[in-house]
Every structure is written in C-alpha cells, then in structure tokens.
Amino acid sequence: MIVTSITAMAMFADLGLGNGLLTRLAAAAATRDFAKAKSLISTAYVALGGIALLLLAIIWLVLPALDWTHFTRASNDLDPGAIELVAGLCLSAFAITIPLSLVQRVQYAFQEAWKSNVWQVAGSALTVLTVYAAAFLGLGYGAIIAAAVFSSPAVILINNVIYYALEHRELTPTFRDASSGTVASLLRVGLAFFFLSILTSLSLNVDNLILANVSDLETVSEFSVTTKLFSLLALAITLVALPLWPANGDALARGDTDWVRRATKTMMLLSVGAVGIGGVILVFGRDFITSLWLGNGHTISLTLAVSLVLWSIVMAFASPYFSVQNSAGLLRYQFVGWTLFALLSVPLKFMSYSLFGLPGIPLAGVVAYVTFIVPAALLGYRATMRRAATSGRA
C-alpha cells in the first residue's frame, strides 16, 4: 500500500500533458478538425511514451541499489527481495499506464466517455479474476501482485488498439504527426495542471504514509482495505466530472453560460445524491461485503465507514464546480485552496489520529476540505462564469 500511495502521488509524472491534451482536443473535436486532433494526439503519445521509457529505466536501475532491509524492521516475515519485486512491478505498471491512459482523454474529448468507462469496468473485472486465479493456483506473491497491477494496463492497451485501429483510424497517432511546436502548445496549457496535480496528488494520497509512520502493518492493512472498498464512491464523482470538462469548454466557448449553470447544479445534485445513496449501501453492507471479499472475521468500524462516506460527499459537491474552472483553464483558486489544504491537513491528520484513531484521518480531511477546498470551488466557479459573461458581451 505504501508503493501504491507513492504511485498515486506521482500521477503528475505526465507533466500535465494529459489534461493539456483534453483541454486542447475538446476544441478540435468541437470543430471536427481531425488533422489538428491527430497532431495533438500523436505529440502527446510520443512525449509520454518517452517519459514512460525513462521512468522504466530509472526504476530498474535504482531499485537494486536501495536498502530494502529498512522495510523489514516492521515485520521479521518480510523478505527484502520480495519487497523489491513488489515495488518493481507496481512502479513499472504505473510507468506503462502513463501513455496508454491517453486514450481515455481522447474518448472524453470526443464525447465518448461511455467507451472509456466500459473499458475501465472491464479492467477492474479482469483484475479481480486474474488475482483470484493466481491465488487459487498457488502461483506465489509475485504472480498475484503482477495480476493486480498489470491487468488494468493490459485492458487499456486493448482499448487503444481497438479505438485507433478499428474505430477512429483518422486519429491514429504516428511519429510523423508529432511536432515540437505542438508539445510546447500542450505544455503551456498542461504545466498549470501539472503543478496543481502535484498538490492534489500529494494531498489526497498521504494517508497510508501517515499510518505507516504512526501504526503497525495490521492497522495500515485494515485502513487500506477499507478505503479501497469505499473508493467505489469516487467512481460516481469521476463519471460526473470528466464528461463535464469538454462539455463545459464547448459551452463556454459559445458563450452559453446558462447551460453551464444548469448543468453544474444538476451534476452537483446528481453526484452528491449518487455518492450518498452508495455510501448508505456500503455502510450497512460493509461487513457482509468484507466477509465475501476477505473471509470471516473481517469487520469495518461504523465510525470509519461514515467518515469515509462524508469525505466522498464533500468531494462530490465540489467536483462539478472545479470542472467548470478546468475547462476554462482558470486554476488560481484551486492553487490557493489545495496549497492550504496540503500544508494544514497533514498535521491535522496526525493530531486527529492520536485523538480518534483510524476514523480521525478521513474526518480531518473532511474538515480541511470544507475549510479550504469548498470555498475555492465556489469562488473559482463564480470568477469563471463572470469572465465568460464578460467575454460573451465583448
């Protein structure tokens, strides 16, 4: 789980090119400018493919040189070689996914979000099946971890092949269509998202690292399993936020601020409602689900479950407002909010854990989110709408 947290924190390794591609590609998709779209897509794939190869080289050069015995102090049962293998598999899967996941941005930009969602569901299902198969066949921890981290990238690869080779040959990325000028254009848009991604990734994925420093492996595992279950609620948030991004960009470009206001309010209510209903189901069914998932004897405390649902609800509320800001490239309010959150939520989580135990960590996150992030979402949304209205009158 520590390795997983590190990879989640490192999602900014694409230098913001993924988000830059989505913003620029949405405009090209709206005008059906396939030549420009292909140039943007090709450039993004070549650039991120190069980053992925560099990361893979660094991973397998650096890992053998690290002292893995440091991690065995928490448990005498841990083998340094096993830790190195797990880290290598997880980090390699992460690096490979960076360029492959661009297809999801392309599908969202062309209003084909449902395709991306179907493939993500398929990736999750394949992960479950392959992990169970590796465990059932007794293939060992290496095969189990490999099944867990490489199944989803394998499905994303299939998505890439089918999308570009069969469905949209006019968008198939090539080296010939990549250009340094297009890289510069994408980076101008993407670098702001890059720095914002650093803030959000570090802020949202630090919990396991905090626990690893203040508790034992059993507690870290309990928290990780619980958060993995309740992370299902984030799916509702993602399903709302990403499709709104290109749709808002298109509407704001046309000056249709009324549509943006209606869509934002509707999606906020839909997102909060979906997360709330899903949260109630998970809270009441948590022990039944974990017994099916992990076997008898595993339970989740009510306070931890409720605190994780509250955390998802506040994120669901803010997400549609951030989508409007992202579509217009107005990020300064988010920078302020996430900077304050990153600086103050970590000490607050340490203190809250000492007072309330495991539920204190997500509860501290809720308090910090409501204090800093929700105001940034609302103020940034209003500023974006004012700017769009002014541009429309001009």
Residue 232 neighbours by CB under 8 Å, 6+ apart: 278, 282
Residue type, 217: L
Q: How far apart are CA 325 and CA 110, in angstroms?
A: 19
> Please, is 336 exposed, middle or buried when counting C-beta atoms within 10 Å of its C-beta (0-12, 13-18, 19+)?
middle
Contact 55, 96 (CB under 8 A): no
In our burial notation (b when 16+ CB lie closer than 10 A, e otherwise), range 298-310 reads bebeeebbebbbb
One digit per residue, the tens of pLDDT, for the chain of length 394 reads 666 666 555 555 666 778 778 877 877 777 788 888 899 999 999 989 998 999 899 988 888 887 777 666 655 666 777 778 888 888 898 889 889 989 988 988 887 878 888 888 898 889 889 999 999 998 888 888 888 888 888 999 999 999 999 999 989 999 888 887 788 777 777 778 888 878 887 788 788 778 877 777 777 777 878 888 888 888 778 777 777 777 887 788 777 889 999 999 999 999 999 999 999 999 998 888 888 877 766 788 899 999 999 999 999 999 999 989 888 878 899 999 999 998 999 899 999 988 888 889 999 999 999 999 999 999 999 999 998 887 655 4
Each residue's pLDDT tens digit, 142-198? 888 888 888 888 999 999 999 999 999 989 999 888 887 788 777 777 778 888 878
Q: How far apart are CA 292 and CA 203, in angstroms?
A: 32
Evaluated on CA atoms 121, 127, 128, 130, the torsion sign reads positive
Q: Which two tokens stand for residue 83?
A: 């830790």
Evaluated on CA atoms 190, 192, 195, 197, the torsion sign reads negative
Contact 142, 89 (CB under 8 A): yes
CA 174 to chain centroid, in Å, comes to 27
In our burial notation (b when 16+ CB lie closer than 10 A, e otherwise), range 268-282 reads beebbebbbebbeeb
**Helix ranges, 215-301 (H):** 217-230, 232-253, 257-294
Q: How far apart are CA 377 and CA 272, in angstroms?
A: 15
Give the alpha-carbon dihedral of 200, 203, 208, 212, to 10 degrees.
Answer: 140
> Please, is 165 exposed, middle or buried when counting C-beta atoms within 10 Å of its C-beta (0-12, 13-18, 19+)?
exposed
Q: How far apart are CA 360 and CA 219, in angstroms?
A: 13
Question: 28 to each of 22, 36, 47, 301, how far by Cα in Å?
Answer: 10, 7, 20, 49
Q: How far apart are CA 59 and CA 89, in angstroms?
A: 10
Closest-CA residue to 205 (of 66, 33, 338): 338
Q: How far apart are CA 190 and CA 326, in angstroms?
A: 11
Return the domain boundaries, the chain: 1-191, 206-394
Contact 349, 364 (CB under 8 A): yes
Q: How far apart are CA 259 and CA 387, in angstroms?
A: 15
Contact 245, 362 (CB under 8 A): no
